[in-house]
Amino acid sequence: MVVGVLALQGSFNEHIAALKRLGVKGVEIRKPDQLQNVSSLIIPGGESTTMARLAEYHNLFPALREFVKMGKPVWGTCAGLIFLANKAVGQKLGGQELVGGLDCTVHRNFFGSQIQSFEAELSVPALASQEGGPETFRGVFIRAPAVLDVGPDVDVLADYPVPSNKVLYSSSTVEIQEENAMPEKKVIVAVRQGNLLGTAFHPELTADTRCFLCRHSYFLKMMSEVGEGTSSGGKGTSSGIVVVGGENLGFNQQPKIDLPIFQ
Ligand SMILES: NC(=O)CC[C@H](N)C(=O)O
């Protein structure tokens, strides 16, 4: 099994290392032709505007859109989630090109700037009920986006209750449409639509092996679920991050102590 990892910028090495720990080969994708050698793709976190410029420079957008349209599994984390969204708000002046396909609107810096990065235990009760282990998993949010709204074909996998004093928006004049991003009690931080998975946080940076494996395996399992391009892009057959069936991922073992990167 070979997974492509878009390697223009951002945390692609971390994703490749995470895949390696699962015994899966991750290959760096920098050129359109290289997409032909992989049947699934991870678009990592980083800085989406920069990543978009590099993707444009390498003429990657048409090939990425084609990849998505063919129903091949694509997982966008953080900046990658922004890439996959049909619409992004809070973009830099002039906007940025998106791959699209995921029927949702993403706020690019919903949780604020770099120094407002944080970690949080995300509640996914269905995960514990079906897979065992603690009810929460740790989300690492780095200058993180959030999903503001989703279309009917999108499954919400995880949301996060945001205290109103934590809902931070840039006051910069180039950060647009803030009036549409009213503070919510809960914001969506993980979604799936058929072959597309999006997480606002960085699973590849989490030291909690249980969560790490879970989320990565979720994606890897999507590969067998949707095949190599047969999905219509509609709702997945499963809802929630709860479909890591049949694999012994050690959920009933004592969970490892997590190692937050921000302490
Ligand atoms: N950690 C991340 O990927 C941050 C994404 C960032 N908010 C952006 O616009 O690109």
pLDDT by residue, tens only, the chain of 263 residues = 789 999 999 999 999 988 888 788 999 999 999 999 998 999 999 999 999 999 999 999 999 999 999 999 999 999 999 999 999 998 877 778 999 999 999 999 999 888 889 999 887 665 666 556 677 878 999 999 999 999 999 988 889 988 665 544 443 333 434 445 555 578 999 998 999 989 999 988 875 434 333 445 567 777 667 765 644 345 543 332 222 222 333 333 444 444 444 33
ipTM of the complex: 0.97
Which residues have C-beta atoms less than 6 Å from ligand 1? Answer: 45-48, 78-79, 82, 108-109, 142-143, 145
Q: Is 43 exposed, middle or buried (0-12, 13-18, 19+ CB in 10 A)?
A: buried
Ligand 1 atom closest to 10 (CA)? 3
Q: How far is the CA of 183 from the centre of ligand 1 (A)?
A: 19
Token digits for 26? Answer: 């991750």
Ligand 1 atom closest to 49 (CA)? 10
Q: How far is the CA of 114 from the centre of ligand 1 (A)?
A: 9
Q: How far is the CA of 41 from the centre of ligand 1 (A)?
A: 18
- Alpha-carbon gap, residue 100 to 96, rounded angstroms: 12
Q: Is 144 within 8 Å of 200 (Cβ atoms)?
A: yes
